[in-house]
């Protein structure tokens, strides 16, 4: 095929641009900015040559062969990536073709056709996803011989929830300020937004909620919509739709109405007009995320209406435009008469079947609040007539913020694979949220983002793996944590087995390690009050009992744990009988959930043969010991990892080891006042007395809402 002069010019401009990009990257120390999209030259000449021969030509096959910004982004990514990795600038051609319907709107097929790689898709965004998939395979040194892969996302809407405030702070954010510079928008969109979009698209994330769930009505004003539209233009190229949080009282706060009652005709008309206005600025606006009647946020219950009344009002306004409402199920009664773990179910399960088709009830993975470990939320499996969306937290609010290594893919995988038994064996949480269990076509998975304007995006260099893992599991929730950890490590640090194996091992151990030194054996919600950083098992006497720690661990001289069986709160009765039986009986309840579901005496004999007190203490010690092992492992990688990143992680592991000891000593000293038992052999004595830990206040912990 002969190129036109214009095509030749574009080709050589891309070549020169890639050369300049590589030259500049070589001059700069690796500060983590590039995330996992590191297109450094493959040093193994034989591997490089073998791969290079397979990518001399690339053909995009899609129905619309015309240029688009998204197709241009795919070409640019492939040109930069293949030139950087292999020294190849491939010939690229777009041809009109209509792939099979099984690819849907976002899927792709990747094939090796003789001397040409063919990426087929029904839409240009599928071509871009296929381009990133090809680059991932090259980065991880996979063979391209006879490749024929079809990939289609299992979940329709795969979102990051940014808890960003208008003033530039990020609630529960630990990586600097907001990515969105509202002050300079709409005139200036930082180039970093394009790199954010590239990273999201590389793992298949296709939506971003830009604003805090504790919503500010000003985001729905024309001034802010104009700014949001500028961001949407950049994100759209990479297949990312913009969503906003909607403050339920907005008709009063910015609309001049005297009520926000969802059944009031004027209020309903106001939301219809507001939706029309939003879509005039952002034609592909995704919809609203709503936190209502929770933690002081306004909502329909202020007017004696139901959550369904409120959600349906907004859904009706958005429906003509194709928008959706994601209504959060994180609610609990002001009266708090019952186990907090039951309250979301009590409010929402009776409303099953009452929501509009474009409403998704967004449910946290567990019933309390993003704990290091929780059983699945009882709403999963309890609302078969309503699409349920998953809400994970990528930001490490309860797992050490961004000072501690905690790879969250095992947490996500544990939840997604849990069988609720709602429709018999095989009704996993993953199948409920992808819609296949109950026949829903609308499906949503969201993760509270861990990004900020720190140069390395996530504060902790290794926390980038959580952004990556969420995206990969959002695309395909059946992927294994080990495979994701291996992928991310190879893409980020190269393919040297002496580097990949130890880092992957650290990642896969890390979540369980944080559980061990903070809240083992089903203990939960025993963190410090307010900032949630560090231990606070003694926290009591707050306005609500279920904001305290003592409410959850219930330690006395007789024992410890929250009885959620029939002899206690009976929260297990909300689950399917098979689920309830498994966790309700001591013979089958796994150790990791023991104190979540049972209150047991300190001398209860564990499966290990040890007493419960000894088991708790040894778990805390194991957590500390694991971090110390990582310190040695990481030190051994010096010289194999960029010095700047190596030094940064080294310092953070020092913090993590200190914090692990702090958790261990504070919790064991406190619980020892009830158990009256000595620490078992192998557990180090605390460095200070209990009063020291009770009075310890870490200064300037980031991420408090509005701080």
> Is the pLDDT reported for residue 569 higher than 70?
yes
> Is the pLDDT reported for residue 551 higher than 50?
yes
> Is the pLDDT reported for residue 113 higher than 90?
no
> Is the pLDDT reported for residue 454 higher than 60?
yes
Spatial neighbors of 560 by CB under 8 A, at least 6 apart, are 523, 553, 554, 595, 599, 600, 602, 612, 616, 671, 674, 675
pLDDT, mean of residues 413-436: 96
Taking the C-alpha atoms of residue 545 and residue 534, their distance in angstroms, rounded to an integer, is 20
pLDDT one-digit tens code per residue, 575-604 = 999 999 999 999 999 999 999 999 999 999
pLDDT, mean of residues 313-322: 98
Distances from the Cα of 420 to the Cαs of 329, 376, 393, in angstroms? 18, 8, 21
Would you tell me how many other CB atoms lie within 10 Å of the CB of residue 548? 20
Question: Radius of gyration (Cα) for the chain, nearest Å?
Answer: 26
Q: Which two tokens stand for residue 92?
A: 């690229």
pLDDT (0 to 100) of residue 529: 94
Which among 142, 119, 144 is positioned nearest to 132, based on CA atoms? 119
- Is 369 designated active site? yes
Which among 395, 392, 390, 417 is positioned nearest to 406, based on CA atoms? 395
pLDDT (0 to 100) of residue 2: 41
Taking the C-alpha atoms of residue 583 and residue 589, their distance in angstroms, rounded to an integer, is 4
- Is 397 designated active site? yes
pLDDT (0 to 100) of residue 705: 62
pLDDT one-digit tens code per residue, 161-220 = 999 999 999 999 999 999 999 999 999 999 999 999 999 999 999 999 999 999 999 999
- The overall average pLDDT reported for the chain is 95
Beta strand 324-328 pairing with 359-364: parallel
Phi, psi of 517 (to 5 degrees): -90, 0
pLDDT (0 to 100) of residue 30: 87
Q: Is the dihedral of CA 605, 608, 614, 617 positive or negative?
A: negative
Q: Tell me the residue ranges of DSSP E strands in 162-237.
A: 207-209
Taking the C-alpha atoms of residue 559 and residue 563, their distance in angstroms, rounded to an integer, is 11
pLDDT one-digit tens code per residue, 612-648 = 999 999 999 999 999 999 999 999 999 999 999 999 9
> Is the pLDDT reported for residue 1 higher than 90?
no
User: Which band of pLDDT confidence, cut at 50, 70 and 90, is reported for residue 258?
Assistant: very high
User: Which band of pLDDT confidence, cut at 50, 70 and 90, is reported for residue 114?
Assistant: confident
Which among 432, 492, 419, 438 is positioned nearest to 461, based on CA atoms? 492
Phi, psi of 691 (to 5 degrees): -60, -35
The residue assigned the tokens 């206005």 is 277
According to DSSP, the residues that pair with 93 across neighbouring strands are 59
User: Which band of pLDDT confidence, cut at 50, 70 and 90, is reported for residue 338?
Assistant: confident
User: Which band of pLDDT confidence, cut at 50, 70 and 90, is reported for residue 29?
Assistant: low
Q: Which two tokens stand for residue 420?
A: 């609720």
For residues 76 and 21, is the Cβ–Cβ distance under 8 A? no
Of 226, 295, 529, 557, which residue is the catalytic one? Answer: 295
For residues 293 and 331, is the Cβ–Cβ distance under 8 A? yes
pLDDT (0 to 100) of residue 21: 46
φ/ψ bin of 424: left (φ > 0), alpha (ψ from -120 to 50), beta (otherwise):
left
| DSSP assignment of 17-61 | HHHHHHHHHHHS---STTTT---PPPS-HHHHHHHHTT-SEEEEE
| DSSP assignment of 520-563 | GGG--S-BPTTT--SB-TT----SSGGGSSHHHH--BTTBBS--
Nearest-10 Cα torsion for 429, 430, 432, 437:
-120
Taking the C-alpha atoms of residue 92 and residue 636, their distance in angstroms, rounded to an integer, is 43
H or E element at residue 614: helix 612-635
Of 40, 277, 352, 369, which residue is the catalytic one? Answer: 369
> Is the pLDDT reported for residue 131 higher than 60?
yes
Peptide bond before residue 186 is cis, with ω within 30 degrees of 0:
yes
Of 30, 397, 414, 615, which residue is the catalytic one? Answer: 397
pLDDT one-digit tens code per residue, 661-680 = 999 999 999 999 999 999 99
Taking the C-alpha atoms of residue 133 and residue 126, their distance in angstroms, rounded to an integer, is 10
pLDDT (0 to 100) of residue 26: 43
Taking the C-alpha atoms of residue 127 and residue 93, their distance in angstroms, rounded to an integer, is 12
Query: Whole-angstrom distance between the N-terminal and C-terminal Cα of the chain?
Result: 59
637-664 in b/e form (b: 16+ CB < 10 A) is beeebeeebbebbeebbeebbebbbbbb
User: Which band of pLDDT confidence, cut at 50, 70 and 90, is reported for residue 17?
Assistant: low
User: Which band of pLDDT confidence, cut at 50, 70 and 90, is reported for residue 336?
Assistant: low
Where do the domains of the chain lie, and which CATH numbers do they carry? 5-151 (3.30.379.10), 157-479 (3.20.20.80), 515-562+599-695 (3.90.1330.10)
Which among 270, 244, 245 is positioned nearest to 256, based on CA atoms? 270
Would you tell me how many other CB atoms lie within 10 Å of the CB of residue 634? 20
Helix 643-675, helix 612-635: angle, nearest 10: 170
Spatial neighbors of 41 by CB under 8 A, at least 6 apart, are 22, 48, 84, 85, 86, 87
pLDDT one-digit tens code per residue, 381-412 = 999 999 999 999 999 999 999 999 999 999 99
What is the DSSP secondary structure assignment for residue 391, as one 8-state letter?
E
Spatial neighbors of 217 by CB under 8 A, at least 6 apart, are 247, 249, 250, 253, 254
Quote the pTM value.
Answer: 0.95
Taking the C-alpha atoms of residue 538 and residue 672, their distance in angstroms, rounded to an integer, is 12
Q: How many degrees, rounded to 5, is the angle at CA 592 between CA 588 and CA 594?
A: 60
User: Which band of pLDDT confidence, cut at 50, 70 and 90, is reported for residue 28?
Assistant: low
According to DSSP, the residues that pair with 424 across neighbouring strands are 422
What is the DSSP secondary structure assignment for residue 164, as one 8-state letter?
B
Helix 464-475, helix 192-202: angle, nearest 10: 50
pLDDT (0 to 100) of residue 20: 47
pLDDT (0 to 100) of residue 67: 84
User: Which band of pLDDT confidence, cut at 50, 70 and 90, is reported for residue 311?
Assistant: very high
Q: Is the dihedral of CA 153, 38, 491, 10 positive or negative?
A: positive
């Amino acid at each position: 095929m002969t190129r036109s002069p214009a095509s030749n010019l574009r080709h050589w401009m891309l070549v020169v641009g890639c050369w300049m990009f590589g030259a500049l990257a070589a001059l700069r120390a690796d500060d983590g900015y590039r995330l996992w999209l590191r297109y450094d030259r493959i040093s193994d000449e034989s591997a490089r040559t073998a791969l290079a021969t397979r990518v001399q030509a690339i053909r995009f096959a899609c129905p619309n062969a015309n240029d688009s910004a998204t197709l241009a982004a795919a070409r640019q990514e492939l040109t930069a990536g293949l030139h950087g990795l292999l020294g190849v600038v491939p010939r690229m051609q777009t041809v009109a073709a209509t792939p099979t319907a099984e690819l849907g709107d976002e899927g792709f097929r990747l094939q090796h056709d003789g001397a040409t790689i063919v990426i087929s898709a029904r839409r240009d965004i599928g071509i871009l996803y296929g381009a990133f998939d090809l680059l991932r395979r090259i980065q991880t040194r996979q063979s391209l011989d006879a490749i024929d892969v079809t990939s289609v996302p299992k979940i329709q809407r795969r979102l990051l929830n940014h808890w960003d405030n208008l003033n530039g702070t990020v609630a529960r954010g630990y990586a600097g300020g907001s990515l969105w510079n509202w002050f300079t928008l709409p005139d200036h969109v930082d180039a970093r937004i394009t790199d954010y979009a590239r990273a999201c698209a590389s793992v298949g994330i296709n939506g971003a909620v830009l604003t805090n769930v504790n919503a500010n009505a000003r985001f729905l004003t024309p001034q802010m919509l104009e700014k949001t539209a500028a961001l949407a233009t950049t994100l759209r190229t990479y297949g990312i739709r913009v969503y906003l949080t909607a403050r339920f009282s907005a008709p009063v706060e910015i609309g001049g109405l005297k009520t926000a009652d969802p059944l009031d005709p004027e209020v309903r008309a106001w939301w219809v007009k507001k939706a029309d206005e939003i879509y005039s600025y952002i034609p592909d606006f995704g919809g609203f995320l709503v936190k209502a009647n929770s933690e002081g946020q306004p909502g329909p219950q202020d007017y004696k209406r139901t959550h369904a009344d409120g959600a349906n009002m907004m859904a009706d306004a958005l429906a003509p435009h194709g928008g959706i409402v994601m209504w959060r199920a994180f609610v609990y009664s002001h009266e708090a008469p019952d186990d907090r773990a039951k309250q979301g179910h009590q409010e929402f399960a009776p409303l099953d079947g009452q929501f509009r088709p474009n409403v998704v009830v967004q449910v946290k993975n567990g019933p309390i609040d993003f704990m290091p470990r929780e059983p699945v939320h009882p709403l999963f499996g309890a609302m078969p007539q309503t699409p349920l969306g998953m809400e994970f937290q990528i930001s490490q609010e309860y797992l050490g913020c961004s000072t501690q290594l905690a790879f969250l893919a095992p947490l996500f995988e544990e939840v997604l694979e849990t069988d609720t038994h709602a429709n018999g064996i095989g009704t996993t949480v993953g199948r409920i949220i992808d819609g296949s269990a109950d026949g829903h076509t609308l499906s949503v998975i969201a993760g509270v983002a861990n990004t900020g304007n720190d140069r390395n995006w996530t504060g902790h260099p290794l926390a980038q793996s959580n952004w990556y893992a969420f995206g990969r599991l959002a695309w395909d929730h059946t992927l294994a944590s080990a495979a994701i950890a291996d992928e991310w490590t190879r893409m980020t640090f190269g393919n040297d087995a002496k580097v990949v194996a130890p880092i992957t091992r650290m990642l896969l151990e890390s979540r369980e390690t944080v559980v061990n030194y903070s809240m083992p054996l089903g203990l939960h919600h025993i963190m410090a009050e307010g900032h949630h950083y560090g231990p606070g098992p003694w926290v009591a006497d707050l306005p609500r009992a279920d904001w305290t720690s003592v409410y959850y661990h219930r330690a006395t001289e007789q024992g410890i744990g929250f009885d959620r069986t029939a002899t206690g709160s009976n929260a297990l009765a909300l689950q399917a009988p098979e689920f309830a039986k498994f966790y309700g009986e001591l013979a089958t309840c796994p150790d990791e959930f023991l104190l979540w579901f049972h209150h047991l005496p300190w001398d209860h004999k564990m499966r290990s043969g040890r007493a419960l007190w000894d088991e708790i203490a040894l778990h805390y010690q194991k957590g500390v010991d694991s971090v110390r092992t990582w310190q040695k492992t990481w030190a051994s990688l010096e010289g194999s990892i960029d010095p700047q990143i190596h030094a940064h992680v080294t310092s953070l592991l020092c913090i993590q080891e200190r914090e692990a000891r702090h958790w261990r000593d504070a919790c064991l000293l406190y619980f020892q006042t009830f158990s009256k038992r000595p620490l078992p052999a192998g557990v180090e004595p605390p460095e200070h007395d209990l009063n020291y830990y009770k009075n310890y206040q870490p200064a300037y912990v980031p991420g408090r809402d509005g701080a």
